[in-house]
Amino acid sequence: MEDLIIKGTHKDYFIPSVNFYLKTGICELAGESFLEDTVDFYKPLTTWLDEYITTIRKPIAFIVKLTYFNTSTSRCILDILNILKDYEDEGGEVVINWHYDENDIDMEEDIEDYMIDTGLEINLIPFNNSLEDF
């Protein structure tokens, strides 16, 4: 098993950056997610997490710094969060930090909905409309 690194782009579609680190358990998703084939993009992420939690079994810190994501991405994020919830229910240590623009009420509501849907505690970390906070 190796780190999963995907460089984000803003060409034809917005592809988020992915930095999933095997040694530290830090898994970061950042940028914007507006993809042509969302399921194909996110499948390696869920596969990596499934393998990590079954073979490595160390703490996971899931860090989200998405400034925008579309509806199909929303479902894939829910899939990731459900994997993390299952891991937590099995005794795994999971911390989720979600950075969001403090002026983006819709994003804040989406995060709160994820907490309700999954039962996970998500730390909401507002920033002031400046990516300098990252």
Residue 45 lies in a domain: yes
Residue 117 lies in a domain: no
Over residues 95-134, the pLDDT tens digits come to 999 999 999 999 999 999 999 999 999 999 998 765 554 4
Give the residue-averaged pLDDT of 71-89: 97
Number of structural domains (the chain) is 1
Per-residue confidence (pLDDT) for residue 91, from 0 to 100: 96
Residue 105 lies in a domain: no
Counting residues of the chain whose pLDDT is more than 70, the rounded percentage is 93
The mean of the pLDDT values for the chain is 92
Residue 116 lies in a domain: no
Residue 56 lies in a domain: yes
Residues 6+ apart with CB under 8 A from 70: 33, 34, 35, 38
d(CA 81, CA 22) in angstroms, rounded, equals 18
Per-residue confidence (pLDDT) for residue 8, from 0 to 100: 87
CATH for 51: 3.30.750
- pTM summary value: 0.90
Q: Range of 21's domain? A: 4-97
pLDDT at 19 over 80: yes
Per-residue confidence (pLDDT) for residue 127, from 0 to 100: 86
| H-helix or E-strand spanning residue 76 | helix 71-89
Residue 119 lies in a domain: no
Residue 111 lies in a domain: no
